[in-house]
């Protein structure tokens, strides 16, 4: 390089005389110049993308993890594979035995929505859903029809926040002959509404029969059981006296 008119210009090596010293640059400016040069896009056209770098780092981590586990497992890599297969077999057996996990029914959820409807309206909605094979919705509407019918007959008080379990328990005390079927109906309602289970046609048909039977059922009198017991005891004493 030569200084001509205050400007530093590069001079080919062949033009320099033998007695001129070689051109040298200080270390820091040279490093900065090299950094600027290498930062140009032309040098990075074939660099891996961020996704490729992330995947490389992930597989490196997996490789190190399995390497560490193999070293700590009796039998090395073969022993590790055997343990992993045993765990997978155990998980598969539990899944097959217990089935798909379902959400626990939320017994505190409300039976009715905010728009009040009559028992007849709920029955009509249930039949419409059943005609289309929508058994979950049919079961829900028929259970609502059962409870609404009991409210309309004044066997249950009207309570918007009542749950299916509460309704079945209260109605079972008044209609003890149907208590078990009422509890089953409430459980079916909770299963399809909050438990993630699918209802079958038979579930709906049983509920529809229960609804029809409850329409004709008469509530048990509060003192009927005690009166029956007293009458039996009285007749027993008369028979002994004779």
Question: What is the DSSP secondary structure assignment for residue 155, as one 8-state letter?
Answer: S
**CB atoms < 10 A from the CB of 191, how many?**
19
pLDDT tens per residue across all 242 residues of the chain = 444 444 444 445 455 555 555 555 567 776 777 777 767 666 666 777 788 888 888 888 877 777 776 676 666 666 667 777 878 887 877 777 665 554 444 444 566 665 678 999 999 999 999 999 999 999 999 999 999 999 999 999 988 788 999 999 999 999 999 999 999 999 999 999 888 889 999 999 999 999 999 998 888 765 544 444 444 444 444 443 33
Q: Is residue 60 part of a domain?
A: yes
pTM attached to this predicted model: 0.49
Tell whether 103 is covered by a domain: no
Whether 144 and 111 have beta carbons less than 8 Å apart is answered as yes
How many structural domains comprise the chain?
Answer: 2
103, 196 contact by CB (below 8 A): yes
Do 152 and 215 belong to one domain?
yes
Q: Is residue 27 domain-resident?
A: no
DSSP assignment of 172-227, as one string?
A: HHH-GGGHHHHHHHHHHHHHHHTS-PPP-HHHHHHHHHHHHHHHH--PPPTTHHHH
Task: For residue 54, give its domain range.
Answer: 50-98
């Amino acid at each position: 390089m030569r200084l001509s008119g205050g400007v530093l210009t590069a001079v080919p090596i062949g033009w320099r005389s033998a007695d001129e010293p070689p051109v040298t640059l200080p270390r820091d400016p040279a490093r900065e110049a090299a950094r600027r040069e290498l930062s140009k896009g032309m040098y990075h056209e074939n660099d891996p993308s961020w996704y490729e770098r992330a995947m490389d780092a992930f597989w490196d981590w997996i490789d190190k993890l399995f390497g560490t586990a193999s070293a700590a497992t009796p039998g090395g890599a073969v022993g590790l594979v055997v343990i992993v297969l045993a765990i997978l077999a155990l998980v598969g057996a539990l899944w097959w035995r217990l089935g798909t996990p379902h959400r626990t029914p939320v017994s505190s959820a409300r039976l009715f929505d905010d728009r009040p409807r009559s028992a007849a309206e709920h029955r009509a909605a249930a039949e419409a859903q059943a005609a289309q094979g929508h058994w979950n919705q049919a079961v829900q509407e028929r259970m609502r029809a059962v409870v609404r019918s009991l409210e309309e007959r004044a066997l249950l008080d009207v309570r918007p926040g009542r749950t299916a379990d509460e309704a079945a328990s209260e109605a079972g005390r008044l209609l003890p002959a149907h208590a078990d079927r009422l509890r089953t109906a409430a459980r079916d309602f909770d299963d399809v509404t909050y438990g993630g289970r699918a209802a079958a046609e038979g579930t709906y048909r049983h509920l529809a029969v229960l609804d029809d039977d409850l329409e004709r059922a008469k509530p048990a009198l509060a003192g009927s059981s005690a009166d029956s017991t007293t009458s039996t005891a009285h007749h027993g004493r008369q028979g002994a006296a004779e």
